[in-house]
Amino acid sequence: MMSKSISELLEIAKEAATKAGIEVLNIYDKGDFEAFEKDDDSPVTTADYRANEIIMEMLTELTPKIPIMSEETEIASLQERANWKRYWLIDPIDGTQEFIARSGDFSINIALIENNRPVIGVIYWPCGESLYFASQGHGAYKRCSAETKPISVRKFNVPSEDVVMIAISRRQSREPIFQRLTEKRTYQTLPTGSCSLKSCFIAEGKADVFMRLGATGEWDTGASECIVNEAGGVIKAATFDPITYNERESVTNPDFVVLGDQRVDWESIIQYK
């Protein structure tokens, strides 16, 4: 059997994310779920497990030779993972707290990692009926109301002076973020939910920067990074070093930043302490 092309794998990821998202939205609308705390004190629900089941079943059936790493399954050791040249990286529900709080700002994330870099990114936002997707070298797109359009980061008129729109969590204190903004210029904020949706909003030009301070996993950035990169932005560690995938025993991310227009001197604006 011939291996599937990137375009074929992208379609599979889009279908899996959408199918899981429709089921999650049904659970969300009915309020028919239970919530638990994991060992790291982060929340998880029966909806997370159901979404994980749907995605895992579809990917295993259609791409049986591609390993899968998911937030909701046991993570293989680095010794085993080191041989993975290509693997699926999934977050069945990014923004579980938002799901529980009924804000609607949660998403289903699927990425394909190849040679330690994201080459496919798919993020489905069930409550927004929006599908964001990208594959390396082919641009980023958003499908909403059966219409698909290319997306890109917002281009500043004057990169050194324009107002900067910061995507920020509704549940996050703004002080730690503004303490790291060293350049005196005008800033506005766009409150929203999950990490991935903030990244998508930057990719489509609704916001310009997002700083995540706190624990996340590689599944929180994989799909986003591909989409943001193809839209003209970048995701980096808050130290401005690259985010890594499948290169460490731990799959926990460092603090990170999502940056829009690359003509802006972001390193002069954001100071990581």
**Contact criterion met (CB below 8 Å) for 163 and 152:** no
What's the confidence (pLDDT) of residue 87?
A: 98
Residues 188 and 140 in one domain: no
End-to-end CA separation in angstroms for the chain: 51
Instruction: Provide the CA 7 distance to its chain's centre, in angstroms.
Output: 20
Average pLDDT, the chain: 94
> Taking the model in full, what pTM does it have?
0.96
Q: Nearest 10 degrees: CA dihedral of 221, 227, 230, 231?
A: -110
Residues 140 and 251 in one domain: no
Q: Count how many domains the chain has.
A: 2
Residues 140 and 102 in one domain: yes
Give me the percent of the chain exceeding a pLDDT of 90. 84
What's the confidence (pLDDT) of residue 197?
A: 96
In angstroms, rounded to a whole number, what is the distance separating the alpha carbons of residues 173 and 156?
Answer: 27
Q: Report yes or no on 194 lying in a domain.
A: yes
Q: Residue 170: pLDDT band by 50, 70, 90 thresholds?
A: confident
Q: Report yes or no on 1 lying in a domain.
A: no
What's the confidence (pLDDT) of residue 177?
A: 85
- Per residue in 128-142, pLDDT (tens digit) is 999 999 999 999 999
Asked whether residue 198 carries a pLDDT value surpassing 90, the answer given is: yes
Q: Report yes or no on 158 lying in a domain.
A: no
Contacts of 158 (CB under 8 A, 6+ apart): none
What's the confidence (pLDDT) of residue 192?
A: 86
Q: Report yes or no on 157 lying in a domain.
A: no
12: CATH: 3.30.540.10
- Per residue in 43-66, pLDDT (tens digit) is 899 999 999 999 999 999 999 999
Alpha helix (H) ranges present in 76-194?
Answer: 78-81, 96-101, 175-178
